Amino acid sequence: MTTAPVPPGAARFLRPRGHVIDGRVVPPIGGDTLPVEDPSTGEIFSHIPAGDAGDVAHAVQAARASFNAGTWSRADPAHRGRVLWALARSIRDQAEALAWLETRDSGKPIAEARADITGTAEILEYYAGLASQIFGQTTRVPGNNLGMVLREPAGVVGQITPWNFPLYVGAWKFAPALCCGCSVVLKPSELTSLTLLAAAELALAAGVPPGVFNVVSGTGASAGAALASHPDVDILAFTGGVVTGRKVLHARADLLRPTQLELGGKSPNIIFADADRVQAIAGAAFGIFYNQGENCNAGSRLLVHADIHDEVVAGLIARARAIRVLPPLDEQSQMGALVSAAHARKVAGHVEAAIAEGASLRCGGPAPRQGHFERGHWFLPTVLTDVAPTHRAFHEEIFGPVITVTKFSSDDEAIELANATEFGLAAGVWTADVKRALRCTQELRSGYVWINNYNPTPVEVPFGGVKSSGFGRDCGPQAVDTYTTWKTVLWSLAPFEDWYKH
């Protein structure tokens, strides 16, 4: 086993001394901390500040003051772009340290953590370029008026982010918000806050002014709820589960303030009989097992044409068994540990319920408590077949390395099964037939469709869902819609006509 060594830069971020608020590292007002566990061993290796409503209020106040001061909100967009580019550079410089922290915090394999960090730099580089490309509109309107429609930064933005891709999905939120000139208060998941606290410090060093990018760690029930219900937060952007998303939306409804939600899914991955089998099987395995299946767009429902079902299942099981489930810092690791004991119990409960309902467990399940599986929260790549659309496993988000397989016999049936879910985040289609692929892109009710591919989410194109998967978009120029508002200016080119002149 070759274990990735502790990178020299990691120690600096390993034990955060506080939140990052108003350009300073500040201890939590209440003085409490939360333990940080390595999910692969159960070891408590750090502590983070336990923020509460007081810390959130402090951060929102700092964000509002910086927004009003205009040091960022009214800065030249090109300047904002240069600063975001400098932050991307700094993240690339610190990539090994950040990847190491991410792996210890989340349990994901070091190779996948490195991909997250590179992806984070790419997100920042994209929005660095976009900063000068946010255009308003002008139009002539009746009465010899010129209509100018300005795009303005939306104000103070609250962001609540999940534990599965901590820095990467965090950057999906904070990079476009900063690009647009907003001031941000971000609350990472208490399970994985280290890299986002580090990023806020790096942002300061890169030239983001004090108060513009604040990170407050703490529990969802305390810091998260306080941020969602804070009346001075203009826009709230959230990624997480449906239950919490609903609570956040309730809080925002009371305030009558806009919200962007990304809430996960139960995404179908459809293999038609004409597909390239080798590629489709590889894509099905990657679609569910990447990041331990803790992935909002995981291809968790495999729909396979009856004619090729047995061949695909055999190939998938072989792939699942070959995945190297190893300590995440091992350079050979292809799957790490689940994020927490509670989550591992939840995943195991889903699999038990599926078997009780008639599904067949073909491989996987909880890892035997021996060797490196003795401590930590391990679950093996799992394939469930004979899963019917009436089963809970067909509908409920498991959020672990568990794929369900369901047969279909016609294109109509495949599309009907694919859409038979409350979610609509993503879908995959494997076929050699262009017309079939096009029909699927038209009829699948989801925010993302991969054709002969699964999982890549390049920053250049939007990401988000329909139905219970949420609304609004991360990534692409579309994220600018979340973080800007329109202001209409009507400029008269003619003398003012007095309505009361007669």
Positions that interact with ligand NDP (CB under 6 A): 160-164, 187, 189-191, 219-221, 224-225, 228, 239-241, 244, 247-248, 262-264, 296, 397, 399
Instruction: For the CB of residue 307, give the shortest distance to ligand NDP in the complex, in Å.
Output: 33
- CB nearer ligand NDP, residue 23 or residue 158: 158
- CB nearer ligand NDP, residue 423 or residue 483: 423
Instruction: For the CB of residue 150, give the shortest distance to ligand NDP in the complex, in Å.
Output: 32
- CB nearer ligand NDP, residue 129 or residue 349: 349
Contacts of 74 (CB under 8 A, 6+ apart): 181
Instruction: For the CB of residue 261, give the shortest distance to ligand NDP in the complex, in Å.
Output: 9
371 vs 332: CA distance, rounded Å: 16
Q: Which pair of tokens denotes residue 47?
A: 């502590």
Instruction: For the CB of residue 164, give the shortest distance to ligand NDP in the complex, in Å.
Output: 5
- CB nearer ligand NDP, residue 408 or residue 423: 423
Break the chain down into helix, strand, coil percent, rounded to 5. 40, 20, 35
Looking at the DSSP bridge assignments, the partners of residue 236 are 158, 259
- Tell me which of 125, 201, 262, 397 is the catalytic residue: 262
Instruction: For the CB of residue 497, give the shortest distance to ligand NDP in the complex, in Å.
Output: 52
Owner of token pair 């990534």: 475
**How many other C-beta atoms are found inside a 10 Å radius of the C-beta of residue 491?**
11
Verify whether residue 296 is a known catalytic residue.
Answer: yes
Instruction: For the CB of residue 160, give the shortest distance to ligand NDP in the complex, in Å.
Output: 5
Instruction: For the CB of residue 397, give the shortest distance to ligand NDP in the complex, in Å.
Output: 4
- CB nearer ligand NDP, residue 204 or residue 248: 248
**How many other C-beta atoms are found inside a 10 Å radius of the C-beta of residue 263?**
26
Owner of token pair 């920042």: 124
15 vs 27: CA distance, rounded Å: 12
User: Edge-to-edge strand order for the sheet containing 426-430?
Assistant: 360-366, 379-385, 402-408, 301-305, 268-271, 426-430, 448-451
In 92-161 the beta strands, taken as DSSP E runs, fall at 137-141, 145-153, 156-160
CA atoms within 13 A on the CB side of 455: 19
25 vs 210: CA distance, rounded Å: 11
DSSP, collapsed to helix, strand or coil, labels residue 387 as: coil
> What Cα–Cα distance (Å) separates residue 96 from each residue in 6, 113, 167, 227?
9, 9, 13, 31
Verify whether residue 374 is a known catalytic residue.
Answer: no
Instruction: For the CB of residue 363, give the shortest distance to ligand NDP in the complex, in Å.
Output: 22
Nearest to 362 by CA among 370, 372, 354, 374: 354
- CB nearer ligand NDP, residue 160 or residue 178: 160
Residue 6 is classified by DSSP as P
- Tell me which of 180, 182, 296, 440 is the catalytic residue: 296
- CB nearer ligand NDP, residue 84 or residue 157: 157
What angle, rounded to 10 degrees, do the helices at 110-130 and 77-93 form?
160
Helix ranges (H only) for 157-272 are 166-179, 194-206, 225-228, 242-255
- CB nearer ligand NDP, residue 430 or residue 463: 463
Do 399 and 382 contact (CB within 8 A), yes or no? no
411 vs 248: CA distance, rounded Å: 38
**Mind telling me the catalytic residues?**
262, 296
